[in-house]
Structure 1
Amino acid sequence: MSGVVCMEGFKSVIPYVVRVADINYGGHVANSAVLDFFHEGRIAYLAALGPFDELDLGGCGLIMAEARVRYRAEMKQGDRLQIGVRIPALEGSTGTMEYRIEREGKVTAEGETRLVAFDYSKRRPTRWPEGFRAAVSAFEED
């Protein structure tokens, strides 16, 4: 996979170096930037499966219906992070994507997003395409 390090329980892991643009007035990573980090991980995860992307999962795209973030430790400019992503389950038209961010093996943030399979041409939720379901299942069980 795209990971450069191992992260227990996560097969998709990408490196990320904290940029100046990620920092807020407090001198550490802005809370909103962590969702951007999750997004970077999500894009890499989808590309590794398919290739897929958020607009094309082989018959539909996806939208985010909910996001949760738990901040565990301060992150600063120049920190070398690892972003782990996994999909524990897909059901009907919804699913959960889980994220973990680590610095030198220490968890700095965790979270999850609730995703919805979305038919952009009809502007409504739809079922996950079988090809996407199979790709996720094979990747996560491998």
Structure 2
Amino acid sequence: MPRLKLAFPAGTDFITQLDVRITDLNYGNHLANQALLGMLHEARVRFLAHLNHTELGNATTSGIILADAEIQFRHEAFLGDQLNITLVIDQLSRIGFDLYYRVDRVIDQMEIAVAKTSIVFFDYHTTHKRAPAPASFEQALQALRNKNEKIRKQ
């Protein structure tokens, strides 16, 4: 059976940290697959807030909707582990983008998982159909990337 192979793109757009909670464990006493998907959702919401956007958008700005999700588990995570979740946008188009996530344990930098969600811009307020990427989203992403590049060069 062929396995899913995700390659995390170069760069970093955003990093956030989450802890593995008791409610995130499965019967194997490690991070459950549905809990990891919830953590990725939390990281995505934080990233969008950092860009001054939301998943639902508003009357003048489209939101986003998840088209698909892929997760490749690489190692276990356990209760109390602090996890860095690094996000990067790839394949930005006029109607969507791919959002990649790399999940690393803070204490030893062990890669726990790599994931990708395909995101489509969506009008929740009038048409309930896919919509063009808001110019403000593209501008905020470019400003963030310019800022990150300046920091890397220092």
TM-score bin (small chain): 0.7 to 0.9
For 1:1-142, list aligned pairs within 5 A: 9-50=11-52, 52-56=53-57, 59-103=61-105, 104-120=108-124, 121-142=126-147
2: CA distance between counterparts of 1:100 and 1:59?
28
2: CA distance between counterparts of 1:11 and 1:95?
13
Greater percentage in strand? 1
Letter of the 2:12 partner, please give it.
F
Taking only aligned residues, the RMSD between alpha carbons, in angstroms, comes to: 1.5
Gaps of 5+ in 2: 1-9, 148-154
TM-score, scaled to structure 1: 0.88
Task: Give aligned-pair identity as a percent.
Answer: 34
Count residues in correspondence.
134
Contact 1:86/1:140, CA 8 A, preserved across alignment = no
Question: Shift in Å at residue 10 of structure 1?
Answer: 1.9
Higher Rg of the two aligned structures: 2
